[in-house]
Amino acid sequence: MKTRLFLKSVALMSVMLMLASALAGAANFKKEYKLQVNVGPTFYWGMGAQKFADLVNEKTNGQIVVKPYFGSTLLKGAQLNAFQMVAQGVIDVAFESTINSATVLPQKNIFSLPFFINTLENLDKLETGETGKAIFAAMEEKGVMPLAWGENGFRQITNSKKEIKTPEDLKGLRVRVVGSPIFIDTFKALGADPINMNWGDAVTAFQQGTVDGQENPVGVLIPVQIHQYHKYATFWNYLADPLMIYWNKKDWDAFPDDIKAAIKEAAEQAARFEKALSRAGLDGDVSLNILKNEFNYTMEVADPVKFLQEKGMTVSTLSDAELQAFKDAVKPIYDTWVPKIGEDLYKKALADMGQ
């Protein structure tokens, strides 16, 4: 009888110690981890961010609460500051474009070399290959923990003036671009007049006819209803716009292993969901089936090209010969930017793509 009571007491003490340990660990967690997101919740990118927050809550049994702050509200619109703010711990976690942190990590401009990657297969090879490993390592050195690759998509060009099939078609066109220097250099090399402005001002400029075109992935073109402003779209895949989920490294390192594993799993699943949204209808049925079979999700716009055409847009693609003409036109960009990106990383990217 005494032995049985002793064993019960030991078991009870063990449970109490485990509970106390769990409570002590939980006390170290913040009530809320702020997630920086550039876009709104209706964009594919924003939907991926919400999915990540939901999955973190689910997989950590509510111990970690991630709250998305959409529309760059944490940055007051200063999107290029996200990486530094996460590294400093002012913001906990970000679901961000590689474009926005390329000013801090120039290696990320490997994705912005014009007409370099061109295909989803090549993009996947870079992210999962030595290129992606090198970028992840560089991010850790800067104080953030990369968790997964998402995707804003290949950036396409639209305009109100004419069909774009050759570099000559761009000459003189005023094109709204991202404020990254490599974007400015690329469009100048193509003979266009690149203009950096926020989206609200760009829409006004489209309506007034003072800006002719812009470049963005379909995951942006559809929700902003680009067909209201532009008649022509060229799907040229001129550069990729990968997204990344990354966490403040100091906070990350303090998490217990089970929490790290749960958040990492949530990031990978959310990124897979978001990538499938961005690729849906552009890779045959592959992404549509991922969404249906793995996430029980049906795309509202299952064929983005057909959707834009039905809205009255002329959607063009480039032949190999036409694409080569653009590649030839931007060769000077490589002379300028490969040294900034790093010759070693550039060679890694070529090797990853089997070139």
- The pLDDT score that the predictor gives to residue 20 is 46
Same domain, 65 and 141: yes
Q: What is the Cα 65 distance to its own chain's centre?
A: 22
Confidence of residue 48 (pLDDT cuts 50, 70, 90): very high
* Per-residue pLDDT at 8: 54
25 within a domain of the structure (yes/no): no
113, pLDDT greater than 80: yes
Position 125 scores a pLDDT of: 98
Tell me: do 44 and 114 sit in the same domain. Answer: yes
The more confidently predicted of residues 191 and 5 is 191
Mean predicted confidence (pLDDT) in 274-294: 97
pLDDT at 179: 84
Residue pLDDT, tens place only, 143-171: 999 999 999 999 999 999 999 999 999 99
Residues 160 and 116 in one domain: no
Residue 109 domain boundaries: 31-152+241-295
Q: Tell me which amino acid residue 216 is.
A: N
Task: Provide the domain count of the chain.
Answer: 2
In this structure, the answer to whether residues 249 and 348 fall within a common structural domain is no
Q: Three-class SS of residue 115?
A: coil
What CATH number has the domain bearing residue 162? 3.40.190.170
Let me know whether 235 and 259 are in one domain.
no
Average pLDDT of span 51-80: 92
- Same domain (yes/no): 289, 316: no
Q: Judge whether 192 lies within some domain.
A: yes
Q: Are residues 35 and 175 in the same domain?
A: no
Question: Is residue 52 domain-shared with residue 192, that is, in the same domain?
Answer: no
CA 355/CA 351 separation, integer angstroms: 6
Domain boundary among 273, 295, 317: 295
* pLDDT score of 240 more than 90: yes
What average pLDDT does the chain have? 92
244 Cβ neighbours under 8 A, 6+ residues apart:
94, 95, 96, 97, 98, 101, 139, 146, 147, 148, 149, 150
